[in-house]
Structure 1
């Protein structure tokens, strides 16, 4: 619980926190009376000298919503978008009358949920992949992984560019609530403490916005990878991994104290602390492209010999990252299909 005290002994004016709070309340009241939604960014730029940082506005808006037991949408504060998506088989019909049809090779900005009237999802949609990093997301778009010919169907790829914004979390939550059980919702994050924390925000919600977690947390999200404990089997030497920092160790130990931490997550965090190494997604590029490791991966993904030769020739993605994902997404789709039949 946070409290404001006046007067108080400090190096900065003790009235500033109150001025900031009342300014935020004033701007929200104005938005409600005028019926014009605002974003946190809008509020910040209304009085930069007073707020001094965007984080101040973010904290005050979230605290107000939690205190009043309302959502930010109830306060007419809407999410500004930063997340991206690409893929095939999903069409969004907007409140404005426009239609947003996704492409498997180009990224589209994820619109706020208030702007979306309804979704149309094709029967061919077989999987959803949430990616932590924008750079990795852009690579997968460029490789057209969403329509990879060896996967059991088309896919949707989403990124929140690190810790996700509300619009991205709302999209993932909506998909989790409405897609059939046969469609797995998977997450690709770094095999370190911060990657697991980002995964936790998608799956369990955030502490700061726990009053809205029922509308934002998507429990169906499964951790696809990257797991530090699996890298040796992919031909990646321990020396290729980055050493953990004091911040990594502190974050890992903090996560291990959580009661609802899944067993797999706990195991990977303990492995990271024991090995003193962390696995970032980009390390897959360091995989030794030996004929043995290639054969293992391609056989697991049910590739034929001519399929793989065509992949190496440029007919379809053949990077270590794409081979890794093709195998693991395929396995997840098979497992989800069997589970939905039971």
Structure 2
């Protein structure tokens, strides 16, 4: 096993915990879904445990209501629990009032299991874009301290081209401009964007389809290039992407290709990344980048304590 790189950069790894058939391209395609959420999550927990890595799980509120014991288990293993909305509806399908309700209900669902209101949130389908930037105003009024929904590159489904690459405090009037705050701490919400390459032509590598089709050597090169520039890589995945037993035959061909291509290799790919680079929860990446007092509270879990996570074997 190779030694980890000595770039001294705290990257983050997170998992959007949802039913596989609730993905945007699949929600209208699968008529009689087979539930794989527990099986898929156990695969991911085993992977993280082998590398003694703590992660963030952004959990759909409906899943927390349905599987409270599973969410509690993840939490007790030392992983951070964040919100992924209550019903997995993207922001562009919601009104401000509906969005406010989604945030509150999912936070309450998670708090009822873990005893803690989640610090972070990730919107389904990375649906916080220039067209829906009003969502920042709702987030700023909520109890959440950070968001991780901005993909700083344009893709066919989402993205904020030219957006910041690093975590930053959100200015209410200029939410995609990391220089707008001048480092001021008066802004209460922090944004932690997903990873893209820091090249002239930005390429999405943060997770999902893009991570599954990116060759491992290119993936390692891209993260290494970010880290050499002292830019942390914020990666995301879904537990169902690590489970080859997820049914793939029902969706139409093009949607099946986008949703499932590369699943059989993703586990080995992430295993290699966890071996090579330093990873932790999204909140740890933010603290490492912006300072321990970024959330105006003492650090709840030090890097030493993360390495002491209890084994689930």
Q: Scaled by the length of structure 2, what TM-score is found? A: 0.32
Q: Rg larger in 1 or in 2?
A: 1
> By percentage of residues, which structure has more strand?
1
Structure with the largest fraction of helix = 1
Greater relative contact order (CA < 8 Å, ≥ 6 in sequence): 2
